[in-house]
Amino acid sequence: MTAALQITELRKQYPTGPEALKGVSLTIEPGEFFGLLGPNGAGKSTLIHCTTGLASPSSGAIEVFGHDAIDHYGKARQLVGLAPQDLNLDHFLTLEETLDFHGGYFGMPKKERKERAAELLDAFSLTAKRKERTRTLSGGMKRRLILARALMHRPELLILDEPTAGVDVELRLELWQYVQRINQEGTTILLTTHYLEEAEQLCSRIAFINGGEIVAEGTSPELARTYGVSSLEDAYLELVGRKELSRASMAEISS
């Protein structure tokens, strides 16, 4: 079976910065809900940007459903939808235009764009706002529109880069529901987060990334076992070298 995403020995040296990825290899199978978990600066967004053409890798290979995503990337781009970490909406476009233009970039015919935009605005409870400019939206609405935009061209692989950073509890739960449903309907998902409970709730498999390297991979219980601890949280604290912060140690201190 062809992997949904196959990353091989990926390296990225920013001209003005650190080596953000130091030979990352990763395979995500079709239908998986995969979590990439790591602290700020670990290289999560860099990996995503290399996969989606926003950054060019220094070396290594990336394939999306068997299609090269670096040099001959046409087909690979069609298959991927990205909801970026930054709220990169054009403030002067209406919600409808935002989705319509995106569909246009991906070569969708006008009629199909119209129907798909209406369907997504409805699914994300944004229909009443469709004629307004995106700058008038609340943060939560912007997050939903960004997710709708990522889904506009019906990607097989949906990439969510910290979709719930700074999002309140209700919206977070709502977004979790949406993405779980999309996954159940067959879309493969790559999610990056530094929220442990998010990875635990949503992801069937998780990789820990730290300092530009994948250091462990597995289900949440497997990761705990790898580190000889009893929870994903404790495994993560081992990863970042802060096991003194584990709940067990805290309980000892306060008793």
User: Are 21 and 55 in contact, with CB atoms under 8 Å apart?
Assistant: no
Sole window of 9-17, 62-70, 75-83, 241-249 interacting with ligand ADP (rule: CB under 6 A): 9-17
Tell me how far the alpha carbon of residue 162 is from its chain's centroid: 6
Q: How many CB atoms lie within 10 A of CB 71?
A: 8
| Nearest distance from C-beta of residue 94 to ligand ADP, angstroms | 30
| Nearest distance from C-beta of residue 162 to Mg ion, angstroms | 6
Q: Of the two residues 46 and 220, which places its CB atom closer to ligand ADP in the complex?
A: 46
Q: Quick one: tokens of 170?
A: 């209700």
**Of all helices (H) and strands (E), which one includes residue 210?**
strand 205-210
Residue 139 engages ligand ADP in binding (rule: CB under 6 A): no
Which residues is 206 bridged to in the sheet?
35, 218
Q: Of the two residues 81 and 163, which places its CB atom closer to Mg ion in the complex?
A: 163
Q: How many CB atoms lie within 10 A of CB 246?
A: 19
C-alpha 22/C-alpha 36 separation (Å) is 16
| Nearest distance from C-beta of residue 89 to ligand ADP, angstroms | 20
Sole window of 13-21, 137-145, 164-172, 227-235 interacting with ligand ADP (rule: CB under 6 A): 13-21
Q: What is the dihedral of CA 27, 30, 32, 35, to 10 degrees?
A: 40
The single residue among 10, 28, 44, 65 that binds ligand ADP, judged by CB under 6 A, is 44
**Nearest C-alpha neighbor of 83 from the set 184, 200, 163, 194:** 163
Residue 88 engages ligand ADP in binding (rule: CB under 6 A): no
Q: Of the two residues 49 and 102, which places its CB atom closer to ligand ADP in the complex?
A: 49
Sole window of 25-33, 38-46, 97-105, 120-128 interacting with ligand ADP (rule: CB under 6 A): 38-46
Residue 38 engages ligand ADP in binding (rule: CB under 6 A): yes
| Nearest distance from C-beta of residue 74 to ligand ADP, angstroms | 25
| Nearest distance from C-beta of residue 211 to ligand ADP, angstroms | 9
User: Are 135 and 91 in contact, with CB atoms under 8 Å apart?
Assistant: yes
Sole window of 35-43, 60-68, 133-141, 152-160 interacting with ligand ADP (rule: CB under 6 A): 35-43
Tell me which amino acid residue 171 is: L
